Each structure stands twice: as structure tokens, then as C-alpha cells.
Structure 1
Amino acid sequence: MKQTSLFFLLFFIPLSSPAQSTDLWHTIERESPTLRAARSKLQAGRAASDAEVRWDDPEAEVAHFAGSPKGTPARTNVNVSQSLDWGMLTGRRRKVAQAADSVAWGDYVLTRYDLHCQARRLMVEAVFLNRFCSELQNRVKTADGILQHAMRRKALGEATSQEVSKARLQLLMAQTELKRQEAQRRDVMAQLSQLADGAEVCFRDTTYALAALPTLPVVEQAAAVHPAVLKAKREVALAESEHRLSKVLNRPTFSVGFAGEYTREVRYSGVSLGVTIPLWGRGRAESRSRRLAAEAVRTDMEATEIRLRRDVTRSWEEARSLWETAEELTAEQFRSEGVAKVRRAYEEGQLSLTDCLLEVTFYDSAVTAQLEAERDAQLAASDLAVLLSESSF
């Protein structure tokens, strides 16, 4: 019922992920060397668990004794025995193996989650840089238009060389910033390509995957099934299974087999039975050690739950604050006509070039702040978005 309600909530969360973001993540998931290594480790863990649920090999012994003094017939002894493992007889070893497989799977899911978070943050940065570079291209065009108009006014004797130099400097600054951000975008693309084992990446999205911030109750419910929490719970189950196995192994161990003694004239053969004597208390000490280890793992699991719940709540509150700031800045941008109005006033002679450049710089700073606020809000919420998408994995 809990999984059904969680799926219902996640279905109606506005996670309008663009197709390109989804395709890129699938490429990273398929090509990532980190996940390939994690899958190999998972298979190795399962193979080790399979080895743990197999019986020990039987032991065979053949001994030949020459007779002494001379004339005494030689004797041959044959012994074959099989130890009876209480862990196998009671099924405890299989339960430990199943718990170990569960832990290995939880480790893989956590690795995948961490990689998804890393990729999601890089994609947020890529979207921001795509939007910012587009904005900078518009700024270059605006600065070039102002420069051309200043040069025409200078030719008419209505502007000075100093004013033209200011306009040219504005253009150079815009071009320099554009080149810097394009270089940063190439670096982000290279990091995304590295996650995909060098696969070519062309990411031109200008829309963030997370359209709206999910509510805190939904995030808290998803935090309860955080991959780190689930792995910690699986580790508790493994530790408890190992403790129960150690209690079973503390019993005396039996062995059965066949024994024979053969001489030239006489043959003796029959069934052999063996038993270990738990005299020195090693089994009891190991069982106590396993019990203490299980208690420690359970304490760690509870601490992990509390820490993650606190971290998720803090991340949501930070994301909400940044989200509200970004929305306020976006609303202000919609209410103002911005650079177009300033440029039109300059070209109509209502503003001097110096005032025009100051106004343009002011509006450019406001747009930059708005774009950065959106990016910061998306970065703060990116891990939450991955948590929601991975909670049913």
C-alpha cells in the first residue's frame, strides 16, 4: 500500500523531464565504466554467495602399513567422511547468502543513484550555460548595435571618440564573457562525456527537467526509501542472519563416513561417526561477536535514517528559498521591457551613450542574477528530483 501511494504521488509530481535529458541519462547508464564495474562486483558477490551454500567436499584417506617383525601381514586403512554443517541443514547459510545478495544489490543501486545525481547536476549546469550563452549572444548583438549607432553619430559629429571607445569596450567585454562561458560549457560537456565513457555528447536543452518543486511530504516519503537507507537496512538483515548462523554453528558438528581396515586374511569395514566438542568456547565468543556487530549495524542504520531525513529536509528548504527568489526575479523580468527599451531611448536621443551603457549593464546584471538563481534552485533540488525518480527503482 505504501509503494502504491508513493507511486501515485510521484506520478502527479510535475517532473517534466525533456527527452534529451532522459536520453543522455540512459546513454550514461549504459556506457558508464562506474556502473559496469558495479555490475561486475554485483555478479562477483552473487557468485560468492552461491559458493557459500554448497556442502564441504568429503574427505578421503588411505593409509598402508607394512608389517613388522618379518612375517606380520601388511594392513591398509580406508576412511571416507562427510561433515554435517548445521548451517546447511537448518538453511541458515542460504538465508545469509540471500541477505548478502540483497546488500550487493543495494550497493549497486546506491552507486547508480550517486552517478545519477552527478549527471543530473552536470545537466543542470549545461542547461544554465546553454541559456546563458544564448543570452550573451543577444548581448553581443545589442553591444554591436550600440557601437554601430555610436559610430554613425560620430560620423555626423554627434558623438565623440571617447563615446565610441566606450561602446567598443562594451562589445569586447560581452564577446569575452561569451567565449568564457562557451569554454565552461565545453568543459561541462566533457565531464558528461567522461561519465558516458567518452561517448559523444550534444546537449542543447534550455529547459530544466524539474518544472516545479515537489512538496515536503512527498520528499519525506521518498527519503524513507532512499538507496542509502535501504542498503543500511539490508546490512542489518545480513548482520542478524550471520548472528543466527553463528548460534547454529556453536552446536557440536557431526560427521558420518565409511571406515575400513584390510589385511591379507581379514577385512573390517563399517560406518564411522564423529563429533566436535565445543570445549574452549570459540563458538560462543564468535556468536557474541556477531550479536554485537548486528547491534552496531542497526545503530548505524538508525543514524543514517535520521541524517538523511535531516539532510533531505534541509535541501528542500534551501531549494524552496532559492526557488522563490528565482520566481521573483523572473516576474520582475517579465514586468520590465529591459534592454530593448533602453536601446530604443538611446537611438531616439532620449539617453546619452554613457547612461545607455549603464542601463544596459544594470539590466544585464539583473538577467544574470535571474539565470543564476534558477540554476541554484535547480541544483539544490536536483538530488531531490533524482531521489523521487529512483525511489521506485
Structure 2
Amino acid sequence: MTSQMKSMRTLTREWLILPDQYDRFSRYLRDNGLTAVTRLLLGIIVIGLGVCSLLNRFSPSGPTSPVALFFNTVVTLACFAVGIAWWTFGPTKRRSFGFVVFCDVAVSIAILGDSAPLARLLTCVIYALIGIYIAYFHNPKLQVAHLSFSVVMIVVAAEPILFGPDRDPALGVSKMLVVVTALMICAFISQIVLTMLSMDASSSDLDPLTGLLNRRGLDRHVEKVLEGFQRQESAALLVIAIDIDRFKTINDVHGHDVGDRIILRVAQRLSSWAHADAVVARVGGDEFVLVQRLPVPAIGPMLDSIGPAMHSNADEIPSTSSIGIAVRTHKFVAGEERAAAFTDMQKVADSAMYESKRLGGGRVHTIVTTATR
């Protein structure tokens, strides 16, 4: 029993330190062409909550006091505004977090404004949907906070049945258990599905830790960037190799959990710095490759910005990276194989990266390739 409890504590601790899923799952949706559909569905769901709130005004059990009517109006208008904003501006990680908080607050106001106890408990089921969203887009700590808040609100919603003039404690407890069970099952089934997706990712195109492409995924997706470079006039092709400096020492001194967090940090910063159509991959333990095309005049500013974007003195465990960049401005010529040309550029970028490492790390070294005659 003791060993089982230790195992459960270990599993819970490992679950709680899992990183935020937003960048990883958003990239998965984007790579599979599902971003627009997801935005549409989430906007419809939020506007649907607004419609439900509006219809509740006309129900005999709906809000009747001036305060309740005021909050009902606020929730209705806010739901319509948030739904439309989701379609218009699109999500970011910060907006997504705000979306979770907004949904929790809006549902809570709707619950408190409903005078029918059973209808209040029915509304609590929406918390389960919010939990599913958190499981896919955010981290377990936010999920725990959401579940804790939801359980408190379920108890508040059931208070009239448990202690009111027409109280029925047996009915109240049974309905509370139904809603809490639905809430927990939805959250944890979603987590299990995510775990299975991570296991599948280990044998697919994705790196299971960062959600970036792995080496095979890089080879399969880079052709789109190469095609765009060939079509676009006055475009440059960049292949960037990044290696975390002294990563083995970091693992030895701070442990592999810290090493994993640093890998995730580098992956997130690299993804944020890259253009939306770039291909970003983790090709080794602490090695990354980025491939993107951009207009020739933009090369200088982009190269100047990558160093500051990747390093920060404010990090809890500071780290630096050696960065090597291969730049090609001449197009592919007849008879030149793109895959072979890309492999050659990777070798050039690796050479530039090793030169940065030889000079002490934390540097950016660039090599511009020239056309061969």
C-alpha cells in the first residue's frame, strides 16, 4: 500500500509540473489545418452561452432582482463580445488564459442569478466543458484551480436544496455528486487522451516533449518552405542551427527536470521568434533547426533579433545557445535537387553553430552561401 501511495504521489507530482500545452496544441491544430475551425467553434460556444443567458431573462425561474438583471445583461453582452473578438483577433496564450477566467466568472454569475436550484446545478455542467478546454490548451495547475473553484460553486448552487425552506438533502447531495463526477471525468479523460496523443507523437512527426517537429517531421515539412522560397522574388532562405551551451553540465548540476524546462523554454522562444510559416524542429537532445524564407531586406533585422530573443538574464536558471545561420539568396537551378541543397545548408548552419560554440557560446554566426557555377 505504501509503495502504491508513493507511486500515486509521484504521478501527481509529475502531472502537476507538466508544461502549458497552448503552444504545442495550437501548433498541432495549425499543422493540420484546424485552427480556423477551432476558432469558429469556440466563438459559437461563447455566443451560445450569451444566447442562453439572454433566454434565461424570460424564464419564470430567471433573474428577477435589479442586481441579478444587471449581471445577466453584463454576461450576455460580454459573451457576444468575447465570441466576436475570438473570431476577429484570434487567440494568444494570454487571451486564452483570460478566456478561461471569463468563462468561469460568466458561468458563476449565471448560476447565482438563477432562482431554480436544479437549474443552477444543471448550469454547473458547463464547468466540465471549460475543464476539457484547459486540459488541451493549458497546464495542470490551472486545471486544479478551475476544478477547486468549480466544486465550491457547485456547493453554492446546491445550497438552497441542502439548507433552504424546501430542502431535500438527499436530492441535493445526489445531484451534486452527479455534477462533480461529470466534472472530474471530463477533465481526467481529456488528460488521458492527451497522454495517448503524446505517446503517438513519439512515433510520428512530433517531438513528444516540445511538440515541435522531430527530424523526420522536418524532412517531411521543409519542402513547403523550399517551394515558397523558389517562387518568391527577392527572397532569402534561412537555415538556423541552435545548440544549448553546456547542456550536459546543466543536467548534471540541476537535474533532468530543469534540463527539460530549459529545452521547453528554448523551443517556445524559437517558435515565438520565427515567422508563422517557418518550420521549427528539435532534431536532438538540445539541438534545434529552424527553416524559413523572408524578403532579402528583412535579413539584417531578423538576424539581429534572434540573439536577444533567445537569451534573458531574468531566467531562473540562465542558459545560452550557440546559433549558426546559413543564408541563401540564389534560387535553385535546373537539375539541382532541393533535398540535397537543404542538406548542404544544414551542414553550413552546423558549421556556423560550432564556430559560435568555439568562440565561447551565446553567439550568432552567419554564413552566406554563394551560387556554384
Question: Does TM, normalized by the shorter one, top 0.5?
Answer: no
Which structure's CA Rg is the greater one?
1
* Higher share of residues assigned helix: 1
Alignment TM-score, normalising by the size of structure 2: 0.22
Alignment TM-score, normalising by the size of structure 1: 0.21
